[in-house]
Amino acid sequence: MTVAAVAPARPSREHAARGRAAVIGSGFGGLAAAIRLQSLGFDTVCYEAHDKPGGRAYVYEDAGFTFDAGPTVITAPHCLEELCELSGRRLADYVRLLPVSPLYRLQWSDGVSFDYVADEPGLVEQIRRINPGDVEGYRRFADFTRQVFAKGYEELGAVPFLNFSDMIRAAPALARLRADRSVYATVSRFIKDEHLRQAFSFHPLLVGGNPLDTSCVYTLIHWIERKWGVFFPEGGTGALIRGLARLFSDLGGSLRLNTPVERVAVQTEGGRTKHVVSAGGLPERFDLVVSNADVHHTYATLYRGVPGAARRQRRLERMSWSMSLFVLYFGTNRRYPDLAHHTILFGPRFQGLLRDIFRGSHLPEDFSLYLHAPTITDPGMAPDGGESFYVLSPVPHLGNAAIDWDEAAEGYGDAILESLEAHLPGVRGAIVTRRHFTPADFAEKFRAHHGSAFSVAPQLTQTAYFRPHNRDPDIPGLYLVGAGTHPGAGVPGVVNSAKATCDTIASDFPVAVDELAAG
Ligand SMILES: Cc1cc2nc3c(=O)[nH]c(=O)nc-3n(C[C@H](O)[C@H](O)[C@H](O)COP(=O)(O)OP(=O)(O)OC[C@H]3O[C@@H](n4cnc5c(N)ncnc54)[C@H](O)[C@@H]3O)c2cc1C
């Protein structure tokens, strides 16, 4: 491809932009990066393969029901506020966040139930009801999570670990916190009752990690929830995504939907690297690219043939990938008003099931489920008198278990619904619309390696410096954002990854690219 065949840079403002940036993908991480880049003065184009922004936070609208496809537990709202404050705006002008309480209702197959609330007296009361002997241990555990939060979230969460020396500096603190211990092992040091151990250990599953081998750094999620609580956007997570997309366009950014990027070529022009993005029409030239696409897809397909990409691809193929999910969305013509917004239904097996999900080569017959009932907080998510649900079951990724999901999905969904009858009596007869999303859909629709739902697994050996870096070490001008880079998956994780990535870009491009070329 010659430079002459490329569309010229498009000066979109009266003043010269700091440079031209492309963001590939409009997941939470991509949108957060696009907003930051536009706020930094880059003329930014965000390419999205699908017809709506959001990525895993896509929205389905069926028969009057609104189904958020992915994230529903919104924590650490300050990272979203910060995106608006960069340009002197307020999040409240774009979306209203409603507090959710209890944060989760946990239910076990033996009938034990636990309302996980954010306020300490309420939480302690719930613990006392299950095992009074664990109250003191919980208090020590909470204090531990506060310390992990101060180090792992406040200090290191949005710092890009680009050099090994960054890791060396963080190592003593990680060693002091015994980051080599798993979440479950750490919780078990403080808490004796098995139900309570599970109650304070399940959080890594929210970001694709196995509680049995994810570093106890992830216990900081408990403190995030205690400190800020859990929220649900009015109108659903999709309303938050639409708000962020509107903010990006208010800032002058360009969001191109239905525009999958096919390839990116890297060229040198006047001593500077340019990225030529091909997405349907005329290829366009950019000073930098931030890829929010699956990190394996980024190197194996988008940058295929660019020096350094094949090595990254091979490295990613040696890494451990998070589990996948089976998600069933369904709307009912009746309400279940006694439900909590978020319910976790633990099956009879905990450790054995986790081993099957993360290392097994087949689809386990039993499951632990997360049930989402957004109408409890926002009745507008379903038609009058109806309830909008999704139920999610963690399942092995396709690299471990090559399940034919076309074959398995319907029956697996039926088995889940049958088990839900105990919590939602008569549910099967009340369903008016139903759809599912499988590991094969993650692979096909998001180009997710192994159909993983959360990208590279959050293990200590794949954390911080050992995770794919926010700035590619070999390809100048290529940056990553989202679940596959530091700090990792989950809405706060990917939004903080945008901060780490864009802080790096701001120091790599201190002045307008044209001035750099002239100087
Ligand atoms: C079912 C489910 C439930 C979850 N629940 C929660 C929760 O409650 N709370 C929480 O904090 N986290 C939750 N998570 C995790 C969280 O949703 C993700 O970690 C996060 O949303 C991922 O964001 P991302 O920025 O990495 O981008 P993604 O959401 O992965 O989006 C990437 C985008 O890139 C686009 N793309 C890919 N390739 C191309 C290309 N070649 N050209 C153009 N576009 C491309 C895709 O179409 C997609 O839109 C959940 C995840 C899932 C799947």
**pLDDT band at 167; cut points 50, 70, 90:** low
The answer, yes or no, to whether residue 1 has pLDDT greater than 50, is: no
Distance CA 104, CA 108 (A): 13
Cα(193) to centroid(ligand 1), Å: 35
Omega cis (within 30) before 121: no
**Res 518: pLDDT:** 55
**Ligand 1 mutation pick, 31, 47, 51, 56, max ligand atoms within 8 A of CB:** 56
pLDDT exceeds cutoff 50 at 14: no
pLDDT at position 156, please? 73
Calculate how far, in angstroms, residue 55's C-alpha sits from the geometric centre of ligand 1.
4
Q: What pLDDT, on a 0 to 100 scale, did the predictor assign at position 9?
A: 38
Considering only CA atoms, which residue is closest to atom 4 of ligand 1? 71
Least confident of 13-17, 134-138, 258-262, 467-471: 13-17
Question: Does the pLDDT of residue 157 top 80, yes or no?
Answer: no
**436 CA to centre of ligand 1 in angstroms:** 17
- Among the ranges given (10-14, 215-219, 305-309, 354-358), the one the predictor scored with the smallest mean pLDDT: 10-14
Residue 4, pLDDT score: 33
- pLDDT at position 136: 97
Can you tell me the mean pLDDT for 2-10?
A: 37
Atom of ligand 1 nearest to the CA of 497: 25
Task: Measure CA of the first residue to CA of the last residue in the chain; give whole Å.
Answer: 28
Q: What is the pLDDT of residue 165?
A: 73
Cβ of 491 less than 6 Å from ligand 1: yes
Q: Give residue 484's pLDDT band: very low, low, confident or very high (50, 70, 90).
A: very high
- Position of tokens 């300490």? 120
153, 224 in Cβ contact below 8 A? yes
pLDDT band at 465 (very low <50, low <70, confident <90, very high): confident
Strand ranges of the sheet holding 254-256, from the earlier edge strand across to the other edge: 254-256, 42-47, 19-24, 288-291, 478-480
Average pLDDT over the chain, rounded to an integer: 93
Q: 89 alpha carbon to ligand 1 midpoint, in Å?
A: 25
- CA–CA–CA angle 304, 159, 511 (5° rounding): 75
Choice from 24, 51, 292, 499 to test ligand 1 binding pocket (greatest atom count within 8 A of CB)? 292
For residue 300 and ligand 1, the question of a CB distance below 6 A is answered with no
- Helix%, strand%, coil% for the chain, nearest 5: 40, 20, 40
Tell me if the pTM is above 0.85: yes
pLDDT, residue 169, reads 73
Question: In this predicted structure, what is the pLDDT of residue 6?
Answer: 44
pLDDT value, residue 515 = 64
Give pLDDT tens digits for 373-417.
999 999 999 999 999 999 999 999 999 999 999 999 999 999 999
